[in-house]
Amino acid sequence: MAFSFEIDKTAEGGGRRGRLTLPHGVVETPVFMPVGTAASVKAVPQDVLEEIGAGGKGAQIILANTYHLYLRPGHELAGRMGGVHRFMSWERPMLTDSGGFQVFSLSGLRKVTPEGVEFRSHLDGSKHFFSPEHSMDVQIALGADIAMVFDECVEHPASYERTRESMGLTHAWARRSKDHFENHKERVPWFEALGGDTQRLFGIVQGGMYVDLRKESAERLVEMDLPGYAIGGLAVGEPREVTREMIARTLEFLPKDKPRYVMGVGYPDEIEEYAKMGVDMMDCVLPTRAGRHGLLFTSTGRLNIKKLEYAEDQRPIDAVCECMVCKRYTRAYLRHLYASGEPLAGTLNSVHNLHFYLATMERIRAELAGVSGKAVS
């Protein structure tokens, strides 16, 4: 399946209804990608993941974390198993991050040089080194449909100078990522099985909270002519208006005919807002992580299932939700599971939240398809 990105309609606000064709399938955009950190969307079996969301369509694409999979089970092992798709029995599209963000989250455990990043494992303190080239090798072995360039994600807040310097490193690393990826992409484990098709490498725009740096970063990356672009370094603690402004001001400088991806966001109203601004892809741990902590998203707002007020509440989480959890279980039961530390709580809460996110995206796609927008071929 050759790579392509088609846009059917673009709405006034910039939102696009499109279709991303990847080696492992077609993804309707805008899309939300559940996060399967260590080759598992936490607490959710793959067959359930294939069935949640509006109309039982399931998740179209999931994200897996390069850093975590590099440490366990190891990218070489995953490669020998045929890549992460086959390893975890997920035959639909997949994206891996570059490992950069996670490595940079290991504050105190890392050391950055122009060559790459030395860091210590959060698991056992062992020393490791990631360069752009190594990130590419790891991601090629993992074998997701989409790989990401290795970038530096600057801390927040960061000065203009610090941000510009970091951005320069990101650009140099993007170039090195691309060069290495182009020379080795035929090594993806499923290269022959899929008739010589391979992964695609997306760029990542940095530039912190400075509009001119965001513009510069977008322009430098667009010069590299990558098949898609992410906006990184957001949702790192800045106010939400700043996140939105950075997204809006960066989108201006990204090619309209390529997929645009905002990494690591967000709450349901945020993903809706960004999708309607023209973001095609998003991912976030929030639906699963919040679910494991008892925070549930509904059509009428958030609900903290641990509260005593739900102890005898015989209603479903959300009266209008069609997920398997809302069809079967009461708030009273879900509160009991959570309060009792039952492992089923994590599963059911995550399933509901993921369904809510995917159903939200389905609604947004329908809205964008119905909007009389200009056709972009």
Residues 368 and 59: their CA atoms lie apart, in Å, by: 19
| Token output for 206 | 């940095």
Residues of this chain, 237-266, that bind a second copy according to CB under 8 A: none
- Using CB under 8 A as the binding rule, whether residue 126 contacts a second copy is answered as no
Tell which one of 342, 362, 367, 369 touches a second copy (CB under 8 A). 342
- Using CB under 8 A as the binding rule, whether residue 38 contacts a second copy is answered as yes
Strands (E), the chain: 4-10, 16-22, 25-29, 31-34, 62-64, 94-96, 110-113, 116-120, 127-130, 146-148, 200-205, 229-231, 260-262, 281-284, 295-298, 301-304
- Using CB under 8 A as the binding rule, whether residue 44 contacts a second copy is answered as yes
The residue type of 353 is: N
- In the bound state with a second copy, the residue whose beta carbon lies nearer, of 78 and 204, is 78
Q: How many residues belong to the chain?
A: 377
- Using CB under 8 A as the binding rule, whether residue 285 contacts a second copy is answered as no
- Return the active site residues: 97, 283
CA angle 151/154/159 to nearest 5° reads 140
Residues of this chain, 57-116, that bind a second copy according to CB under 8 A: 68, 72-73, 77, 80-81, 87-89
- Using CB under 8 A as the binding rule, whether residue 40 contacts a second copy is answered as yes
- In the bound state with a second copy, the residue whose beta carbon lies nearer, of 228 and 291, is 291
- CA 13 to chain centroid: 23
- In the bound state with a second copy, the residue whose beta carbon lies nearer, of 33 and 218, is 33
Residues 264 and 283: their CA atoms lie apart, in Å, by: 5
CB of 338 to a second copy, least distance (A): 11
Tell which one of 46, 139, 177, 198 touches a second copy (CB under 8 A). 46
- Using CB under 8 A as the binding rule, whether residue 330 contacts a second copy is answered as yes
Residues facing residue 64 across a β-bridge? 96
3-state secondary structure of 10: strand
List contacts with a second copy (CB under 8 A): 38-40, 42-47, 68, 72-73, 77, 80-81, 87-89, 292, 311-312, 314, 324, 328-330, 332-333, 336-337, 339-340, 342-344, 346-348
